[in-house]
Structure 1
């Protein structure tokens, strides 16, 4: 399969060996993309980070080095998608592929032009979604958000263009889901390309939890409410559009 990229740190030899074996067993060709390591210095793309919005509206504290590296890695692949002018599939290196991964990959690349962004892993428990199309014993679902959804996805050049136009202010999965900012809706495709994920934990992201200072909480809570309202409105609007076709 063309244009399949696996984000992985150069030093993660064991992970690389594991995912390479997975891909080979499923007869899937891929390319390693050397992850941007935020702990080796601030990524060049970080100069475009909207720190004021981050501090006062979205989280209330500075992004971690790992978060910047994770975002920069995905962002660089969106640029790659634009450069080659074709859809790509992006994976992280801590996934276990489903039995029919090669077939599912073909379906994703066939349908991503129509939808822009196709999540290829399970959704978070309780996530809202709406079936919009049935394909080859599977389903494409409209998602209200894309929380936790960057371990495996297909993206088209049109969707990549929408995402790269805007400055950072969220973790990358939350930004992809923020359709009220960039206009790109998130969809999920089933059957799933990924059977399991995240058992070993992220080597790019940080696990440290920061706290929002008290003096920034009012503005952050206001924006959190605004985000929830906008996500609900955009989801309602898209559902209405789909049902009236």
Structure 2
């Protein structure tokens, strides 16, 4: 029996969310499975043993990651490993989404495009970063993204893309890491219409807000790294646009 290609990250205790997403999947006639989210608040995940805290403190953030952030990263990382083990693209969703009325068609197209491009974002981008249309097929538009900040509520990923992502030590929130093409070389693309038509109605149950302040003495190195990141993202984006001829 084939394994479902849709994996929904959800804490075991989040029954209301599970019921809601299960109903939506059933209405769209989609076969899926839940991935029991890793809750960093009940203990440090074994997958986080290789976290680069020095880089985190002095370059990327200035403060230690929250337990919820680590659990969120571990959950997505676990599904990247799952994708590699399965040997085919999968769709990963979080449990606080509202699906598009043509979700089944969008997912089929996303899995197809993941085979070619590796990582396909399935939600709208909320920032004003650069993006360029790469393909137009009927109603579907595929765009190359300069960055992928805040974009892990729903995506399709191939084993090859997952391999690129798992090779590097953790030092960023997982969404920021996926967008950091200069680290791993995996570009992010967005498929429109988006699978996710609404999100954010509920607070995250996996990753909670961190109110800790960054130490001021780490500000200079962080600002230098931020400038480096912006330059590298732009260079990588322009390079790929040239390669694609867009």
Q: Same fold (TM over 0.5)?
A: yes
| Partner Cα separation in structure 2 for residue 208 and residue 64 of structure 1 | 6
CA deviations 1:119-171 (Å, max 9, x no partner) are 00001141311000112311110000000000000000000000001100000
* Aligned: 1:197 with 2:199: yes
| Partner Cα separation in structure 2 for residue 209 and residue 118 of structure 1 | 31
State how 1:1-245 maps to structure 2 within 5 Å.
2-243=4-245
Q: Which runs of 5+ in 1 are unaligned?
A: none
| Partner Cα separation in structure 1 for residue 145 and residue 214 of structure 2 | 28
The list of structure 1 runs, each at least 4 consecutive aligned residues, that deviate by more than 3 angstroms after superposition, is: none
| Partner Cα separation in structure 1 for residue 162 and residue 7 of structure 2 | 15
Normalized against structure 1, the TM-score is what? Answer: 0.97
Instruction: Give 1:2 deviation, angstroms.
Output: 3.3
| Partner Cα separation in structure 2 for residue 210 and residue 188 of structure 1 | 33
Q: Secondary structure of 2:165's match?
A: helix
Normalized against structure 2, the TM-score is what? Answer: 0.97
| Partner Cα separation in structure 2 for residue 104 and residue 63 of structure 1 | 34
